[in-house]
Structure 1
Amino acid sequence: FALSQRLENKFISFTIDNPSDNALHTIVTTLALTHFNTFETRIKSFISEAMVWATINVHHMVNECFKAVGERFHYVYGLKDICAVMQGMSRATTRFFDSPASLISLWIHECERVYSDRFVSKSDFQIFKKKLNDACFKWFDEYDDDINMIVSKNNLYAPLVLQGLEPGSELDQTMYSVMLNMDKAKRVVAEKHLEFQRSAKLAPFVTLTHSLSHITRLTRAMTQPSGHVIFLGSHGSERRVLIAISAYILGIELVSGKGSYDDFWKACKRWHKEAGLHSKRVVVVLEDD
């Protein structure tokens, strides 16, 4: 494919190289420390000296090992993914994350959400997990004596509302913390589903471990600023139910993008007005069927 010179004369071409690792470290560290500025000095030092470098290292590893070919066409990773990891890290609060060990565990979780959630095969995830663990030993070993225990855990993080936050609590329901009691989280999801089922008249839905992990991923995306997620898989009601339950748990209005172009455009105006003027949280579901 080639452009004719007559057509090319109508445009201006710009080439923008990726920043060097040192420049990238400076940019990401500056952004990260705007959030971690209220943390202890040792935490700020850990973020700038180890965690940012580890994130850059993992990003380069992913780009080298996982190429966008064939059925893996969506394996496209850019600098925005580094920012996505740090955006997840910025959900840490001094109440729940007061040590390098707790931040390392969160960092592992965020790297898995940003990078490995796109993988379509178990072997890809296993390769990524091994290299992610290697990065932990390389960059974090001096910050915690029990790094083996940290990397061996498969912690899930979720908003407090998913963990049975009591009504009237002084804590924000969207605050992020590790899920220590999976059974309690299952009960919360089951209770919310029963409430939702009565109002929406849905078919019975079994709360399994993999369904809970999907809900934690969805609530994570829904509680992030401009959060979004692509839910790949076969068509079916379970996928829509998982999205609906996640929105219901968070008290967010769920709207569908189906309809004609004109209807969709009018709906977009309404959603933007509700979100922008009335600070109303809205989840828009766009399906390809």
Structure 2
Amino acid sequence: QDMFLMGAMGPPGGGRTVISARLQSRFNLINMTFPATSQIKRIFSTLINQKLQDFDEQMKPIGNVITDATIELYNGVVQKFLPTPTKIHYLFNLRDISKIFQGMLRVHKDYHDTKISISRLWVHECFRVFSDRFVDHKDMEMFVVLLNEKLGIFLDMTFHNLCPNKQSPIFGDFIRGDVYEDLTNFKALKAYMEHQLAEYNATPGVVSMSLVLFKDAIEHVTRIVRVISQPRGNMLLVGIGGSGRQSLSQLSAFISDYNTYQIEVTKVYRKMEFREGRSES
């Protein structure tokens, strides 16, 4: 009494069971179909064009170009990178497009005032959303080929010219405050990370970490910081034991000025213990 029951489900198939007709008859059914390309373009072009309103007039048209390039890149990724038993996480949807634009909306008119600078930001977000999910170098190289194709079609650029030595850009907002900038000086970035590690180890009550901050480790930290600094930023780190997932997460949280809480899993760990631990955190 005085209660409305609302449910949501995906179409049957792909591991999803069929809901009986008897149960369906108790609901008013609304089928939300996948939006057309024109609708997707309108949604995201409106967001990016509104952000570019304060930019120079010559930069404003790039909003529609970035939107078209993102949608075409997404369609190419969906077609080329299909889920398999060993790559079950190769599932892409509209959320991935929105994540790219979530990063693009951090563009700043004083730091991204050229076509090249905005294009590098777009390439960075595409790498973070798509390429970071790939598990082998073959898929990563295929993605670079696909990205290079879209760069040529929509932005009249090549990946090699935009990113020398095939090094994808590194962006972050942790060095200069709230400015999401292109961190082109890797030596300065490494020095900053080493300073943050020393500050962490000097913090009372923490277990000091003896980390060697080589290139891949530094890039992983920037990736983690990027995600956890965003609204609803959640991520799953996949890797073998001893690969540094916990240590790099601790350092990333420290850089972001976050406290960490680690769940202690036991043999009798259940939902109740999870809820209790979450409330304590």
Cα distance in 2 for residues equivalent to 1:92 and 1:57: 21
Question: How large is the Cα RMSD of the aligned pairs?
Answer: 2.3
Kept after mapping to 2: 8 A contact 1:157/1:176:
no
**Runs of 4+ more than 6 Å apart:** none
Give the equivalent residue in structure 2 for 1:190.
Answer: 194
State, as a whole percentage, how many aligned pairs show the same letter: 25
Equivalent residues in 2 for 1:20-99 (5 A)? 20-48=36-64, 50-99=65-114
Secondary structure at the residue paired with 2:55? coil
Cα distance in 1 for residues equivalent to 2:99 and 2:182: 19
> Which consecutive unaligned segments of at least 5 residues does structure 1 have?
166-172, 272-289
Partner amino acid, structure 1, of 2:95: K
Please state how far the C-alpha of 1:204 moved relative to its aligned partner.
1.3
Give the equivalent residue in structure 1 for 2:259.
Answer: 253
User: What's the TM-score, normalizing by structure 2?
Assistant: 0.83
Give the equivalent residue in structure 2 for 1:136.
Answer: 151
User: What's the TM-score, normalizing by structure 1?
Assistant: 0.81
> Which consecutive unaligned segments of at least 5 residues does structure 2 have?
1-16
Kept after mapping to 1: 8 A contact 2:190/2:213:
yes
Of 192-201 and 213-222, the range deviating more from structure 2? 192-201
Bigger proportion of residues as helix = 1
Cα distance in 1 for residues equivalent to 2:233 and 2:184: 24
Give the equivalent residue in structure 2 for 1:204.
Answer: 210
Of 123-132 and 146-155, the range deviating more from structure 2? 146-155
CA distance 1:264–1:179, shift in 2 (3 Å): same
Partner amino acid, structure 1, of 2:25: N
Give the equivalent residue in structure 2 for 1:265.
Answer: 275
Of 197-206 and 236-245, the range deviating more from structure 2? 197-206
1:219 to 222, 225, 231: 225
Please state how far the C-alpha of 1:268 moved relative to its aligned partner.
3.9
Kept after mapping to 2: 8 A contact 1:158/1:219:
no
Kept after mapping to 1: 8 A contact 2:78/2:92:
yes
